[in-house]
Amino acid sequence: MAIFVLTDAVITVNSVALSSYSNSVALNYEIDSVESTAFGSTGHKFVGGLQNNSIDVEFQQDFASSQVEATIYPLVGTQTTVVIKATSAAVSATNPEYTLTNCFLAAHTPVGTAVGELASTSLSFTGGVLTKATA
C-alpha cells in the first residue's frame, strides 16, 4: 500500500465491528520520556518509560441492538480492547493491525447534538498496551 486516502478503516471495539458507524479515528502511540540526567551531565538525558496510548474515535450514534450504543454504554468505567486497521484488506506489512488492550473508557455522551445534526458520540480510549501485527 502506498500513500492513500483513508476510506476503509476497520474499527472493532470489544469484539464488535463498528467501522460502518465511524467517520474519524486517531491512534496515538506514545512512550513516556523519563528523565535520567545524572550529575556531571551537560544536557538532559531520557529513557523510555511506560506506554501512554489513546484512540480517539467518532461514531455516528445507533441505538439498535449490537450497534454503537449497545456496545459502548456498558464499557464506560471499564477496560476493553480496540482494534484498528487502515483498510479491510488482510493484515500485512503494508496493512498492519493495531490492538490496544486494557484501554479505559472514562466517558460517553449518548445524546449530545443539536437539532438537525447527525447524532454522534466522540470517545477517547486511554491507556493500555499497544501491539502491532503485520501477518
Query: Residue range 102-122: average pLDDT?
Result: 94
For the chain, the average pLDDT equals 95
CATH T-level fold of 10-31+48-133: Elongation Factor Tu (Ef-tu); domain 3 (2.40.30)
2 band by pLDDT with thresholds 50, 70 and 90: confident
For 28-58, the pLDDT digits (tens) are 999 999 999 999 999 999 999 999 999 999 9
* pTM summary value: 0.90
The residues with which 35 forms a beta bridge, in sequence order, are: 46
Q: What is the pLDDT of residue 1?
A: 57
Instruction: For residues 122 and 109, give the distance between their C-alpha atoms in angstroms, rounded to a whole number.
Output: 7
pLDDT of residue 43: 97
**19 φ/ψ angles, rounded to the nearest 5 degrees:** -55, -40
